[in-house]
Structure 1
C-alpha cells in the first residue's frame, strides 16, 4: 500500500466564548476528523488551529492534547486574519497526516462553518502532486 502526506481542512463554530463551549465543538470536530478519515493520531504530522478574534477562552490545541495519542502531535494555535463580514466564532484546522494514497479525504465542516465550503461536504478526489511513499 502506498502512503502519502495529505492535508485535511475543517472548521466549526461555537455559540459562546467559554472553555466548555469551545471544548465541546473542538471535540466534536476532531471526533469527526478521526472517524470519517479513519485517521490515527500516530499518522498525524501536525495540526494548525486558527480562531477568529472573538475566541480567546482556551487554545484548541490544549483541548486536542488531552485526546488519547494526541500529546505527541505538533500543534499550533493562531488567530485568523479578520476580514469585515467574515464568519464569527469560528475555529478552523489544517491537518497534515500520512494516509493511503487511495483513501478519499473528508474535509470536516460542522455547524455554521458548513456554509464556508459546501462543496467539501463530499469526499475529495485524490490529486497526487507529491511522490508517494511506499511502505511494507
Structure 2
C-alpha cells in the first residue's frame, strides 16, 4: 500500500479528521438541545427514541446494536425515559434474561412533535440537503470502516 501524502505537517490541527468530527459533533448536538428541551429529552435519549419510533418493542441488545452503544451506557438512558413515562421496560415472557423496551402512549405521541426536529436542524445549519446527504454517506462509511478496524483488533 502506498503511503498517502499528508502534506508538510501531518499533525496540523486543522487537518485532523478527529478534530473536525469532534467539533462538528459538539456543535450540531448543541443545536439539538433547545429543540429537544420542550420534549424533556437529551440528545442521547432522542437517539433511543428514534430507534424505538422506527421499531418497537425492541430488546436492549437490539437497541445497543442499532445505536452502537453498550448496555452500561444505554441502561441509565432507558431508566430516565421510563421515569418520564416515554418507555416501559419489561422482561421477555419467552426469555427472562431478555429485557424488552416498548413505547408508552405518551412516548408514541411524542413522535409528532419530534418530526419537526430534522427540518429545524436542516434550516438552522443552512447547508444544502444534498451536502448533508453526502456528509451522511461519508460518515456512514467512516463508521463502518472504523467498526471493522476495531473488530479486527
> Which TM-score applies when normalising by structure 2?
0.27
Larger Rg: 2
Bigger RCO (CA 8 Å, 6+ sep): 1
More helix by share: 2
> Which TM-score applies when normalising by structure 1?
0.29
